[in-house]
Structure 1
Amino acid sequence: MTGTDDMNEFDQRLAPAFFDRTQERVRTMMAEEGFDAFLTDHPEDIAYLTGFFHHPSERPVAVWVEATGRTVMLLPELEREYAESQSARAELVAFFEYPGVVAPFQVLADAVVPPRRVGFASTMPYARLAAARSAFGGADLVGSDLTIRARYVKFPEEVVLHREAARITDRMLDAGVQLVVDAVVAGGDLPTETELERHVTAAGTRLMYAEHRNVVVASLLAGGLVYSGPNSAFPHGLPSVNRLREGDTFMLSLGCAVGGRFIEGERTFVLGEPTAEQRRYHDTIHAAQQLGRETIRAGIEGREANRLCLDVIRDAGLGEFIRHRQGHGIGLGMHEAPWLEDGDATVLQAGMVVSNEPGIYVPGHAGYRISDSMLITDDGAEPLTTFPRGLDDCTIPL
C-alpha cells in the first residue's frame, strides 16, 4: 500500500508481505497460550490475517494458522478465484458446496497435520464450532479471544489507512453541512434525514473512487446515521423522511472504511439560533468529549477513561440522559474491543484506535453526541477526525 501526495496514487490494498507480520503476531500469541493451531471464521479476522474480504454466507470461510508457520484458508470453490484476485496470503483449501457430501471442516481437517491443542475464535457460531469439533475429533479445542487482542495495536500501514478514512469522514461532514446551508440560501425545502444520508454517503464513496486505487469494499464503505429533533434522541435511530426544520438539533454520525479500516466522526448541529437549553446540552457534551481527548492515553484502563469522561455529564446534572459508554475500539470493525466502558479493565496501549463519543439523549427533544476516532500515542491521543466541535461552529444560521 502506498500513499503519496497525489491522492490518485493512494492504494488501499496492503502488500502481501504485511500479512506475514499479522500471522507472526498471532503465532507469537499462540505460543504464549500453548496452541498448536488457531481457527477463526470471523470475516474481520480473515481480512486481518490474509487480506481476503468476502461476503459471509452459510458456506464457511475460515483461516487455520499453524504454529509451524503454515497458514491455510478453507473456502468454497466459488470463492477461490476471488481470493486469488485479492492475493490472499494463505494456502487455499476449497470444498465444492455446502453442506457437501464431505463436510467443509472435514475437508480442512484432511488437509492439515492432526493437532493436539487448537484455539478457536470465541466469536465462532455454535453450529460451526460443533462441525469443527466433529472434524478434529482428536484435538482439544479451546475458545480464545486471541485474534481480537492481536488486532488491538495497529501496524503503521493500518494507521495510514485510518488517517485517510478520517480525512474522508471530515469531508463527508463538510458535504452534509453544505447541503443544509445551500438549502437555507435557496429558500426552499430543507433536506430530509434520508436525503442527507444519501448525500453524505455519495460524497464519501465518490471521493474514494476518484482518488484511490484498489478500493476495498468492506461491510460499509461510507455512510452513517442522520437524524434530527426527537428522532435523534434514539442513539442509533435510523434516518427517516423527517424534514429538517428551524430550531432543530440534528446529528451527522458518519464514517467510512479505507482498506477495510474504519473511522467514525460525529457532530451535533443546531439549525438557527440555539436556545439556552440547546446550548447547555451541547456545551456539556463538548466539555465531556474534550476531557476524553485529554485523558485517553496509553496506560489508562478503559473503564477509568469512561468514568472520567462521563462524570462531566453527571456533574452537570444530566446523568439521567446517559445511554451508553464513552467509546469503543475501531479497526476492521466499526465497533470492536477494547471497550471504554465500566466493565472493561483493558489497559489502553499506544497504537490502538478508539472512539471518544459521549452523548446524552433527551426523550421528546433530541440527542447530542460528539465523536472523534482517537489514535493512542506514547504521550496521549490524537484525534484523527478534525471537523470543528463547538456549538458556535456547529450552528447553521437561518
Structure 2
Amino acid sequence: MFDFKSRRSRVIDKLQEQGDAVAIVMDPNYVYYLTGYHAALGIEWGRPNIFIQTVDGESVLIIPSMEEEMANRQTDVTTVIPWTDGTDGEWRPPLKKYLEKYKNDKVAVDYMSFPRIVWDYIGEVIPKDRISDIGQEIDRLRSIKDPQEIQIARHAGEVAVEMLKGAMKVAAPGVYEYEVELASKQAGTRHAAKLMEEHYQEAEPFNYPGIGNKQIMSSGSDITMTHHRSGMTKLEHGEPLFICHCGTAEFKNFFVGFDRTLFVGDINKEVEKMLDIAEEAQKAALSEIKPGAYAKDVFRAYADVIEDNGYPVPFRAGRSLGFSYTAYPELAQDSEAVLEEGMVFAVDGGTDSENYRTQVGDSVLVTEDGFEYLTPFTKDHNDLIVGK
C-alpha cells in the first residue's frame, strides 16, 4: 500500500546531504515506516531487528530467523538476512560485513533509540566521531503524511471514537473501570475489523484489528493521576470519569490521541467549571493550527487560557502522531517547528487542581487552510453524562 522505496530514497538523499555512506536504523517505528516490516520480537526480547540503507541504494534487514517468512512477505527490501539465537554470533557477523565495508566512511544511526549493545558493537569498528544521527531527519520525513497515511489516520480516528462510544454504553455507577475498558476495546476491535474488511483486504494476512495496551482511565479521587490505568475501582454517581486513548487507540500501526472527561450519573459542577477552561484552552490552540504556524504559538495560545484562569499549565499543547505513540514535532513552549499541510497532531486542553483534573483531546490533520478533525465527537457536557 505504501511506497516504501520512495521513503527510502528520501533517506538516501539525507545520507548524501550529511556525507554519510550508510544508515543503520533500529527504532521499530522507523523500520516499519521505511520497510513495512513489523514484528513482536524486538530488542526488548534480546533480538535486534536491524535495517541498513546504503547510499548506493542497497536495503538490508537483519532479523531473527523466526521472523524470516513474515519479513519476506511484508517488505520489498533488497536483502533479508536471518540470524538464530545463540548461534554463530547471531546478528553480529552480517552487521560487521557492512561495517567493514564502510569503515572508512561516515555512518548514520537513529541515535535517540539505538540500543547500547549494538552501539558498542558498531564502535568497535567505526570511530565514534564518524557516527552521525539520522533519526531527526527520519522524524521530519515522517511528519508529513502521504495520502495512504491520511486514509489510515482517518480510520484510526474512527476506531478511537467507536471505542469511546462503546465505553459510554457500559459506564454507570457501580460498574468497574476494567469493565468499561473491555467494552471500549471490543467496540474498537469490531470497527477496526469492519474497516479492514472494507478497505484493506490486500493487506492480508497482516490485518490486525485487536486493540492492545492497557487503557488509560481514572475516576473519582484517582482522576488526579494523569496516566492511571483502568482497574478495580467502581464508578461513583456524581464523580468524573477520564478516558484517554493515547497509546491504546491504534489502527494499522497508526496511533491517535483522543481524550474525554465524562460525568457519571450527573454533572459534577466543580469538574464542569474546570472542563470548560480545558475546552477553551484546546479551542485556542486549535485556532492556531494551520500551515505556516509555529508550534510554540499553538502552545502559547493554549497556555494563556489556562494561566489566565489561575491554573498551572499541565503539559504541552499536543504532539505529532503517526506510526508511534508520539513523534516530531511537539506543540511545546520552546518548539521552533513550523506546521505544514499533511501533519497530524493530538491537540489537548487541561486543568489540574487538588481535587480533580480535566482533559480534552482530539486528533487533527493540518489542511491547506486550517485543520480537519480526525476524532469528531461531542463536547456538550449533557451528552458526556453516562449511566443516567
Fold in common (TM above 0.5): yes
- Aligned counterpart in structure 2 of residue 348 of structure 1, from 322, 332, 339: 339
Opposite residue 303 of structure 1, the aligned amino acid is: K
- Corresponding residue of 1:383: 373
Opposite residue 144 of structure 2, the aligned amino acid is: V
- Aligned counterpart in structure 2 of residue 261 of structure 1, from 235, 254, 264: 254
Describe how 1:1-398 pairs up with structure 2 within 5 A: 14-15=1-2, 18-55=3-40, 56=42, 57-98=45-86, 100-102=87-89, 104-110=91-97, 114-115=101-102, 116-122=105-111, 123-136=113-126, 140-144=130-134, 145-180=136-171, 183=172, 190-212=174-196, 213=201, 214=204, 215-217=206-208, 221=212, 224-254=215-245, 255-319=248-312, 322-363=313-354, 365-396=355-386, 398=388
Q: What is the SS of the residue equivalent to 1:359?
A: strand
Once the two structures are TM-superposed, the CA of residue 166 in structure 1 deviates from its matched residue by 0.5
Structure 2 distance, partners of 1:348, 1:175, is 33
| 1:306–1:325 contact (8 Å) kept in structure 2 | yes
Once the two structures are TM-superposed, the CA of residue 83 in structure 1 deviates from its matched residue by 0.8
Structure 1 distance, partners of 2:338, 2:367, is 13
Distance 1:139 1:286, change over 3 A: closer
| 1:93–1:108 contact (8 Å) kept in structure 2 | no
Structure 2 distance, partners of 1:58, 1:220, is 25
Q: What is the SS of the residue equivalent to 2:155?
A: helix
Structure 2 distance, partners of 1:112, 1:81, is 26
Distance 1:333 1:198, change over 3 A: same
Once the two structures are TM-superposed, the CA of residue 324 in structure 1 deviates from its matched residue by 1.3
Structure 2 distance, partners of 1:202, 1:396, is 18
Distance 1:30 1:217, change over 3 A: farther
Identity within the alignment, %: 22
Deviations 1:156-181 (A, max 9, x none): 1111101001011111111111112x
Opposite residue 396 of structure 1, the aligned amino acid is: V
Once the two structures are TM-superposed, the CA of residue 300 in structure 1 deviates from its matched residue by 2.1
Shift >4 Å, 4+ stretches? 135-139, 215-223
Deviations 1:117-146 (A, max 9, x none): 111101202221111222556992212322
Structure 2 distance, partners of 1:131, 1:334, is 29
| 1:53–1:217 contact (8 Å) kept in structure 2 | no
State the TM-score, normalizing by the size of structure 2.
Answer: 0.89
**RMSD of aligned C-alpha atoms?**
2.3
Total equivalences in the alignment: 372
Q: What is the SS of the residue equivalent to 1:89?
A: coil
Structure 2 distance, partners of 1:109, 1:229, is 56
Deviations 1:250-309 (A, max 9, x none): 112124222211112111111244243222111111111111221122222222211111
Once the two structures are TM-superposed, the CA of residue 362 in structure 1 deviates from its matched residue by 2.4
Once the two structures are TM-superposed, the CA of residue 148 in structure 1 deviates from its matched residue by 1.9
Once the two structures are TM-superposed, the CA of residue 149 in structure 1 deviates from its matched residue by 2.0
Deviates more, 1:257-266 or 1:269-278: 269-278
Deviations 1:47-72 (A, max 9, x none): 00110111112111111111111111
Structure 1 unmatched ranges of 5 or more: 1-13, 184-188
Once the two structures are TM-superposed, the CA of residue 95 in structure 1 deviates from its matched residue by 2.3
State the TM-score, normalizing by the size of structure 1.
Answer: 0.87
| 1:196–1:226 contact (8 Å) kept in structure 2 | no
| 1:38–1:118 contact (8 Å) kept in structure 2 | yes
Once the two structures are TM-superposed, the CA of residue 25 in structure 1 deviates from its matched residue by 1.9
Structure 2 distance, partners of 1:268, 1:85, is 42
Deviates more, 1:105-114 or 1:171-180: 105-114
Distance 1:64 1:218, change over 3 A: farther
Opposite residue 374 of structure 2, the aligned amino acid is: L
Q: What is the SS of the residue equivalent to 1:264?
A: coil
Structure 2 unmatched ranges of 5 or more: none
| 1:302–1:345 contact (8 Å) kept in structure 2 | yes
